[in-house]
Structure 1
Amino acid sequence: MIIKKTLPAMLLAASVSLASAMPASAQEYMFTYSKLYTHMKQNAKEGHDDVKVGFFFLDPVSQQLCSIEKAWMEKEEHYEELKISPSNEVIVPLDSNLRSANPLVFVHTPDNQQCDFSMVVMTKEAMEGEVSYKQVESLLPQMQVMLEQLGGMFASWFTPDVTGVTLEFADNLNSSIKLSSGETKAIVDGKVQVALAELGEGGTMTLPEATIRVLPYIPKEN
């Protein structure tokens, strides 16, 4: 569990936000491994080989990813430092033995920045260069299934349809992607959303650089 404050999980357009985590100190966040395991176990299920659950921290004002200074697990005399990806994903190992031991998981973020814990459905691999309609099409049902599994029983009744992908790029990139139709879509502050229908069957999009995250795209209701 998240120490200090826990809110129900919510399905969002591009993420599943577990909670607005409150720091145990100015920059230290603490969780129990078993609670993270409950969601991570989706990564071991069949049917979504190209997507996974990822753990991040997000600045609630700028909506940009927070830097992770350090993360580790500990219980009594046992200590293990956790890896942090280049995109600031906290890499927590999936291990049933750890679930039984249930160590505490600690994460340090910059002390001058409030960050929210964010659990997202994302692709395992980055996208770069020319990306085809078929590549995107194959991801959508996998993302849909994982979102529904994370939502629990009856989630398939109210989980909105994933209609495309949200592409995120490093360093708040401001650029554009080119569609094979001749149209372009602007990348603003490192993000752009592309619906499968915009690519068109047989179409492609060309990215200016490799993504740091590829998340589901669910259009907001009017």
Structure 2
Amino acid sequence: MNKLFFTLSLGGLLSLHALPIQAQEYMFTYSKLFTHLKQNTKQGHEDVKVGFFFLNAETKQNCTIQKAWMEKEQHYEELKSTRYHELIVPVDNNLKSANPLVFVQTSQNERCDFSMVVMTKQPLNGKVSYADVEKLMPQMQTMLEDLGGMFASWFTPDVEGVTMEFDNQLNGQVEFSNGGTKPIVNGKVQVALSDIGKGGTMMLPQETSRVLPYLPKAN
């Protein structure tokens, strides 16, 4: 049940068209995305947001977005993606009313699953303090509960830190000012606030590609 807070159910949201030459194509309605995007404009979410990605069904790595756009009748607008393959969709009440179709193309040889995550708006890099992580946790908690609906606070596990992802499947380590370390394996590490220690810091070997909640009690 808790996984619903990380990967959005595809029912009624996405259709897949296998294009024989160049790409896999996915189709959405804007209004379905807007339901979740509107959380990004609420107070209390200053440092976190809802992000849209496509994950390779086998490797669980982010799929490369080759092209994305919205269209309705004669209207057409291209959408951008970030260097880490996050789909950027504008939040607009007028678009919600018009409800265009949203199309996304990934490479032909990748079967990708749509993924909605709670993540930080800005990456982490270099020396990160206890306070830097501490301020993110209640925002992540609130966002997860808001996405989950009226009774989500009953079932959403507590955010106890951050899950950090790094580009190029980095293998390395996070070093803490208290002398501890944690390994980064295939570009991922989970750090609890208690690992850093009050008043402490952690040193990252490179800038993060995504920073997500760490929910050790989710399973």
Structure 2 residue 11 is matched with structure 1 residue 18: no
* C-alpha contact 2:157 2:217 (8 A) present in aligned 1: no
2:103 & 2:6 partners in 1: Cα distance?
20
1:73 aligns with 70
The 5 A counterparts of 1:181-200 are 181-200=178-197
Question: Aligned AA for 2:181?
Answer: T
2:57 aligns with 60
2:163 aligns with 166
Counterpart selection for 2:172 from 170, 175, 195? 175
1:106 & 1:11 partners in 2: Cα distance?
28
The RMSD of aligned alpha carbons is 1.5
2:127 & 2:218 partners in 1: Cα distance?
30
The 5 A counterparts of 1:196-207 are 196-207=193-204
The number of aligned residues is 212
SS of corresponding position for 2:195? helix
What do residues 170-202 of structure 1 show as CA deviations (whole Å, max 9, x unaligned)?
011111110111111111111000000111101
* C-alpha contact 2:7 2:116 (8 A) present in aligned 1: yes
* C-alpha contact 1:83 1:91 (8 A) present in aligned 2: yes
CA offset at residue 35 of structure 1?
Answer: 0.3
* C-alpha contact 2:66 2:105 (8 A) present in aligned 1: yes
**Percent of residue pairs identical:** 64
1:104 aligns with 101
Structure 2 residue 38 is matched with structure 1 residue 41: yes
For structure 2, the residue ranges without an aligned partner over 5 or more in a row are none
What do residues 14-49 of structure 1 show as CA deviations (whole Å, max 9, x unaligned)?
x62113555222500000000000000000000110
* C-alpha contact 1:33 1:99 (8 A) present in aligned 2: yes
TM-score (norm 1): 0.92
Counterpart selection for 1:30 from 23, 27, 30? 27
* C-alpha contact 2:72 2:100 (8 A) present in aligned 1: yes
* C-alpha contact 1:173 1:188 (8 A) present in aligned 2: yes
1:111 & 1:186 partners in 2: Cα distance?
34
Question: Aligned AA for 1:113?
Answer: E
2:204 & 2:140 partners in 1: Cα distance?
21
TM-score (norm 2): 0.93
Question: Aligned AA for 1:74?
Answer: E
SS of corresponding position for 2:153? helix
CA offset at residue 162 of structure 1?
Answer: 0.5
1:4 aligns with none
1:81 & 1:52 partners in 2: Cα distance?
22
1:3 aligns with none
* C-alpha contact 2:30 2:101 (8 A) present in aligned 1: yes
2:67 & 2:202 partners in 1: Cα distance?
36
